[in-house]
């Protein structure tokens, strides 16, 4: 196998400790003859590491308690082995815990949750999302059926970017692919060419061979390799030789089950494979870089597998009918497609934090950029770590309106000059190292969009609407940094004023609006305050509604500057190029640009798809300027000087 391939090893059964080693015990395993009848987890991990696939996964549904009976638990050696080999390892329970079978559901709690997570119900495309799903769902099932028993699964994926690998392409969102692209680009910037190559191949595979950034990156790596400027990729280690125990003496031999010849299958869920008629970009790349291999074949499915009742035994029996490639392709794309029990529910679009209705007053005596200013009186809220409203504040803000034509209005809020601490303190929960060092920035006054640019505004100026979630007052998404910059250029030409994307410092200053907490409304975030994936929590607030799409702008309470949706809804492009931290960052609010014009660009604010930690005021992500997906939008800034 090679980069881009998946290899999954799944074991369900007993584990046992023998001479300080961990063994998995199949049904016919003999606790009195572990070395001959058990399966060494050490060998499994080494074989997975040396199989050549860059996505090797070991899934163990076995107890980890040290029980009194033989065959009741494996020890910590398996966990240590997983960390050393780099294999993605998913354990059904934590050390010293049991992995429970639940009679009422006909299988183990872990396997039930695993199948849900890989299917329509969980939509867990990546290792990270599957781990999160299992960590929540398994304890829920155990508590529901067994009361106070505890079973907490977890995953070891080292290094951390392995948690971003895509397990189930049919559930992969553009956000998943974007995260993988970020990892690939960073590996490339750090000149870790092997890692960059593996990740770009993964990106291309997840995008069905249609990602131009991945194709260009792989072409560039191939050119460098052919020119001898970067080394050839390292070959995977050879599979280890299995140490054979000394044969037993006749007096020590145990009874051996009779050998039963396998019977031909009565029916097979797999029909003849369908060859791919043309080479994919992945294969073209491999040919160019002298690692050519035969075209893949994708098996067909005679009937929808989701219509069958999937138990642990049936899943294993079915998976055993084919090779690893078949299991990857079929399980990953067909098993749980269209299950009637797990279709996602339509979003409810409910908003429960009530604030005072904004009041607008035109200030005819004041003018901004040649246009009359308006004043808005509005209310903001602050919440505690439980998501409960603790304070309400009456606020005022000024803004001007620009008519883009056909009654489409762009509202630009005035941001006063001031200073703030950019980045996050070391004590902030789930912060990232790239948010350091926290530093003081002095920002001049500017105008910024009260809302992210809407589809109506984008359509009016650009003549098209690339958004996936249609709605005139929904933010436009599916736009690249180049698209956003072109919008600003056209707007500047139309108005005779300078419009541009905000600098990263301007964006964070405008978002915080004088606050120092993780979110502008306080210590945490709820689905009543923003549109994000509220299936996950940040502090001690309850889980909320995950709407699975954008919402109309202005539905939630604003910040103290009168700006809306600075947390969630869509990521917002900024001017700046990506830098790994704030060492050497400007302190005057201007954009921090790189000499490398092709360097990734900044995005801020989180989106409807992302978890709370990614919606914090300090969160920073980046992507290449040509990247588009249904989580990325933008808002514009107007500066005081007029264009020439």
**Residues near 88 by Cβ (< 8 Å), separated by ≥ 6?**
55, 56, 57, 58, 127, 155, 156, 157, 162, 163, 165
Q: Which of 154, 135, 209, 219 is nearest to 177 (CA)?
A: 209
Q: How far apart are the C-alpha atoms of 450 and 552, rounded to whole Å?
A: 13
Angle at 380 between CA 374 and CA 382, to 5 degrees: 160
| CB of 491 closer than 8 Å to CB of 461 | yes
Q: Which of 394, 353, 400 is nearest to 377 (CA)?
A: 394
Q: What is the pLDDT of residue 347?
A: 40
Q: What is the pLDDT of residue 623?
A: 86
Angle at 282 between CA 277 and CA 288, to 5 degrees: 100
Residue ranges and CATH numbers for the domains of the chain are 1-172+303-338 (3.40.50), 173-241+270-298 (no CATH), 359-642 (3.90.1580.10)
Q: How far apart are the C-alpha atoms of 254 and 258, rounded to whole Å?
A: 12
**Residues near 201 by Cβ (< 8 Å), separated by ≥ 6?**
3, 4, 54, 214, 218, 282, 285
Helix axes 41-49, 77-85, angle to 10 degrees: 10
Kindly list the averaged pLDDT for each block of 10 residues, start to end, along the chain of length 644: 81 80 82 84 82 83 60 61 72 80 86 87 81 88 83 78 75 79 82 83 76 82 79 63 47 38 35 34 34 25 31 33 28 29 37 78 78 91 94 94 94 96 96 94 97 98 94 95 96 94 98 97 96 93 92 95 97 95 96 91 93 94 86 91 39
**Residues near 289 by Cβ (< 8 Å), separated by ≥ 6?**
218, 221, 222, 225, 226
| CB of 110 closer than 8 Å to CB of 151 | yes
Q: What is the pLDDT of residue 272?
A: 30
Q: What is the pLDDT of residue 263?
A: 37
Q: What is the pLDDT of residue 437?
A: 96
In which element (H, E) is residue 601 found? strand 601-604
Q: Which of 36, 19, 15 is nearest to 252 (CA)?
A: 36
Q: What is the pLDDT of residue 567?
A: 97
**Residues near 402 by Cβ (< 8 Å), separated by ≥ 6?**
371, 409, 410, 411, 412, 495
pTM to 2 decimal places:
0.51
Q: What is the pLDDT of residue 448?
A: 98
Tokens of 514: 């004088």
Q: Which of 478, 500, 567 is nearest to 529 (CA)?
A: 567
DSSP 602: E
């Amino acid at each position: 196998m090679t980069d881009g391939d998946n290899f999954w090893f799944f074991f369900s059964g007993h584990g046992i400790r023998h001479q300080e080693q961990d063994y998995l015990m199949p049904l016919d395993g003999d606790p009195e003859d572990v070395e001959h009848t058990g399966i060494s987890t050490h060998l499994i991990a080494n074989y997975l590491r040396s199989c050549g696939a860059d996505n090797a996964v070991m899934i163990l549904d076995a107890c980890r308690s040290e029980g009194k009976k033989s065959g009741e638990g494996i020890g910590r050696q398996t966990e240590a082995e997983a960390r050393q080999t780099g294999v993605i390892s998913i354990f059904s329970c934590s050390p010293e815990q049991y992995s429970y079978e639940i009679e009422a559901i006909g299988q183990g709690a872990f396997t039930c949750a695993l199948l849900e997570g890989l299917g329509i119900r969980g939509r867990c495309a990546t290792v990270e999302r599957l781990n999160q799903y299992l960590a929540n769902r398994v304890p829920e099932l155990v508590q529901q059926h067994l009361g106070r028993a505890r079973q907490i699964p977890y995953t070891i994926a080292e290094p951390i970017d392995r948690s971003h690998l895509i397990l189930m392409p049919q559930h992969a969102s553009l956000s998943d692919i974007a995260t993988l692209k970020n990892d690939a680009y960073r590996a490339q910037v750090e000149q870790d060419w092997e890692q960059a190559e593996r990740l770009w191949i993964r990106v291309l595979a997840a995008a069905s061979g249609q990602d131009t950034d991945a194709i260009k990156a792989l072409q560039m790596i191939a050119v460098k390799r052919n020119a001898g400027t970067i080394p050839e990729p390292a070959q995977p280690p050879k599979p280890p030789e299995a140490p054979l125990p000394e044969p037993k003496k006749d007096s020590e031999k145990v009874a051996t089950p009779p050998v039963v010849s396998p019977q031909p299958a009565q029916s097979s869920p797999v029909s003849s494979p369908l060859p791919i008629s043309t080479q994919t970009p992945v294969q073209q790349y491999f040919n160019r870089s002298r690692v050519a291999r035969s075209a893949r074949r994708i098996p067909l499915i005679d009937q929808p597998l989701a219509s069958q009742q999937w138990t642990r035994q049936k899943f294993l029996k079915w998976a055993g009918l084919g090779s690893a490639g078949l299991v990857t392709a079929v399980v990953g794309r067909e098993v749980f497609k269209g299950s009637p029990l797990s279709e996602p529910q339509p979003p409810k679009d409910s908003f429960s934090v009530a604030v005072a209705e904004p009041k607008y007053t035109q200030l005819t005596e004041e003018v901004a950029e040649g246009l009359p200013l308006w004043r808005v009186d509005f209310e903001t809220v602050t919440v505690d770590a439980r998501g409960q409203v603790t304070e309400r504040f009456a606020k005022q803000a000024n803004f001007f309106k620009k008519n883009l034509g056909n009654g489409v209005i762009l509202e630009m809020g005035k941001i006063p000059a001031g200073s703030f601490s950019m980045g996050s303190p070391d004590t902030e929960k789930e912060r990232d190292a790239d948010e350091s060092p926290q530093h003081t920035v002095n920002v001049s006054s500017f105008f910024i969009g009260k809302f992210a640019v809407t589809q109506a505004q984008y359509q009016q100026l650009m003549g098209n609407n690339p958004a996936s979630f249609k709605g005139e007052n929904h933010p436009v998404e599916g736009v690249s940094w180049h698209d956003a910059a072109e919008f600003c250029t056209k707007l500047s030409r139309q108005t005779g004023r300078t419009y541009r994307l905000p600098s990263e410092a301007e964006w964070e200053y405008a978002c915080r609006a004088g606050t120092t907490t993780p979110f502008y409304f306080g210590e945490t975030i709820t689905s009543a305050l923003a549109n994000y994936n509220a299936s996950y929590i940040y502090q001690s607030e309850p889980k909320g509604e995950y709407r699975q799409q954008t919402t109309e702008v202005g539905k939630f309470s604003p910040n103290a500057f009168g700006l809306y949706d600075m947390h969630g809804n869509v990521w917002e492009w900024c001017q700046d190029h990506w830098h790994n931290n704030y060492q050497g960052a400007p302190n005057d609010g201007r954009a921090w640009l790189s000499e490398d014009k092709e360097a990734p660009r900044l995005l801020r604010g989180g989106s409807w798809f992302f978890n709370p930690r990614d919606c914090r005021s300090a969160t920073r992500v980046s992507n290449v300027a040509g990247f588009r997906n249904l989580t990325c939008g933008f808002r514009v800034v107007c500066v005081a000087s007029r264009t020439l």
